[in-house]
Each structure stands twice: as structure tokens, then as C-alpha cells.
Amino acid sequence: AQSVTQLGSHVSVSEGALVLLRCNYSSSVPPYLFWYVQYPNQGLQLLLKYTSAATLVKGINGFEAEFKKSETSFHLTKPSAHMSDAAEYFCAVKTQDTGFQKLVFGTGTRLLVSP
Amino acid sequence: DAEITQSPRHKITETGRQVTLACHQTWNHNNMFWYRQDLGHGLRLIHYSYGVHDTNKGEVSDGYSVSRSNTEDLPLTLESAASSQTSVYFCASSATAGTGELFFGEGSRLTVL
């Protein structure tokens, strides 16, 4: 069964610093992978997705992620953190369930950005 | 614009009472899902539906039920609320074909006293 593991429940960075949020996946088939962001008291919204096209995927708000099959990773990065990036980030993988599809989520990483 | 709405956004109830959380989507998606979100557990799948009259149990379905009488709605019912069901509940939907991308509602915060 497909699954994802997010390393680090909290990541702290200073404003302007590099953001790196880690996600490793387990999948027996080529995966579809997603990063979602959740701002306080809101639902989740899609940041970016990998669907077996380009391995470097660009998303909203300057975020990007690189699919590395050899490392089974799909880490999320942003060159320069902004205070508004403070949120919880979830990695997810698509699974197939008797011909239908659903997403399995990691436990999330809370990004803290200090001035 | 298409959207997915949940109601109520906040609810306080007492142990043993029946509670229903509503979810309505205008995406015309066949797939609908209910998750709960708790500290340290991320998002856990409660129930899901792949179409009208179809319902399936997720990983934490005990004490919850859903029914799907039309494409737009998937209400979540707590038959007899327990304090362990205090949580934030999210409804989501996705298209049958495509990447599996989920569209989420804003969440319903439920407190069981």
C-alpha cells in the first residue's frame, strides 16, 4: 500500500532563509504525489502536485518540489521564507482502492517563521 | 465558482447526543471524503463515497456513519457523541478521473463535553 512519511513535526526558519520540508513515499507503482498547505483555521489547499511529468514541480507562493525516484523523496522547498508561509504542510500520495482513488496523508509539518 | 461548504463551522454538544455535520459540494464530483484532524495524527480518513448510494469505511470509522443520497451531499453522523470525537472535521471531494486531487471544505470544529 502507498504511504508517505514526513520527517519533523515542526520546522523553524528565519525570514529570508531556505525552507526545506521532507517527505518520503512508499509506493509499488509510479506515484502521484501532492503537497497541501493549511493556514490557521482554514481547510487544506493544494500547493503543487507530481503526476509523472517533469520531476521538478513548481507550485503557488514560490514553492517547488523535486521528485527523486532513487531516494523515494518529494521534498518541498522555497528559497526565501516569508512570514506568511507559517502554516502546516501535508504531503500526500494517491492510492488505488479497487479501481477507485483516494489520497493518503502524512502527519504534517508545522512551519514556523521568525523575523 | 464551484465550492465545498461545511456546516456548522463550530458546534458544542454533550456526550451521548447525536450530531450531524453537513457537507455540500458544487463541483459535481463523484468522490467525497470525511477526515478528522487531531494533533499528532494528521488527517485520518473516517468514511468515503465514490458515488450515490456508495459508502465505505475509512481507518477510524467506529462511531460514525454517512449516507449518500445525491451527488452534492455527504452528511457525517455521530450516533452517540463521545469526548474522544472532539476534533476538527474536514470534508473533501475529487473527480473520478484525473490525478486524485482533493478539494477541501473549511472544516467543522466539534467539541463534545
What secondary structure letter does DSSP report for B86?
A: -
Which amino acid type is present at position A49? K
Residue A18, pLDDT score: 97
DSSP calls for chain A: --EEEEE-SEEEEETTS-EEEEEEEE-SSPPPEEEEEE-TTS-EEEEEEE-SS-SEEE-GGG-EEEEEGGGTEEEEEESS--GGG-EEEEEEEEEEETTEEEEEE---EEEEEE-
Within 8 A of A105 by CB-CB distance, chain B residues are 35, 42-43
Residues of chain B with pLDDT under 70: none
Contact B43 A90 (CB under 8 A): yes
The beta-carbon neighbor of A106 closest among B42, B90, B102 is: B42
Percentage above 90 pLDDT, chain A: 72
pLDDT of amino acid A51:
86
- Give the percent of chain B with pLDDT over 70: 100
Cβ pair A41:B107 closer than 8 A: yes
Q: Do B100 and A103 touch (CB under 8 A)?
A: yes
Given B42, B45, B106, which is nearest A90 (Cβ)?
Answer: B42
pLDDT at B71: 96
Query: Do B4 and B23 meet the contact criterion of CB atoms below 8 Å apart?
Result: yes
Q: What is the pLDDT of residues B52-74, one digit of tens each?
A: 999 999 989 999 999 999 999 99
Helix (H/G/I), strand (E/B), else coil: B98: coil
